Amino acid sequence: MASLKDIENMAVKDAIGRYPKVGAILDKHKIGCTKCKVGICKVKDVVRIHHLPKQQEKRIYDEIDRELKGAG
Can you give the residue ranges of every domain in the chain?
4-70
Q: What single string gives the DSSP state of each residue in 13-70?
A: HHHHHH-HHHHHHHHHTT--GGG-SS--SBHHHHHHHTT--HHHHHHHHHHHHHHHHH
54-69 pLDDT, tens digit each: 999 999 999 999 998 8
Average of per-residue pLDDT values in the chain: 89
Between 60 and 49, name the one with better pLDDT.
Answer: 60
What pLDDT does residue 34 have? 81
Of 3.40.1350, 4.10.1110, 2.170.270, 1.10.3910, the CATH number of 4-70 is 1.10.3910
